[in-house]
Structure 1
Amino acid sequence: MSKHYEHSSFREKLIEHLFIGEMLKLSWLKDDCQLEVMKLEVDNAGCDIVLEENNVFRIYLKVLSLK
């Protein structure tokens, strides 16, 4: 079996953490540090991460890969 299938939870968390880290790094480099990261405990609506900065919300949905 492919490690992408066997360790899909590991892969998902890795990608989430890398993405959040990059977004926080960009906020730091802009010298505003205003980015808020919200992680949902349960994602029944398909939403994994919500980012908010200066009252602008971005919602990131789960992307499924069939590979």
Structure 2
Amino acid sequence: MAKTITQAQEKLVALQNEGFSVEEIANASNLTVASVKAQLRRVEKKVLAGDYTPPSPPLFSSETN
């Protein structure tokens, strides 16, 4: 059974995929930079262990159409 990530972690990953920096994600999420980094590291560990497959980032922004 594959492990999943939390909804909070999903939001952080989505913001990272949109190109936001860790600092911007922290500010937008009302978290510390250290907390954002820790959560993203937890997600990374699950990816590396094969327990979670992150969504692919979009190839093109909707703004380019």
TM-score normalised per structure 2 = 0.32
**Larger proportion of strand:** 1
Larger relative contact order (CA 8 Å, sep ≥ 6): 2
Structure number with the higher helix fraction is 2
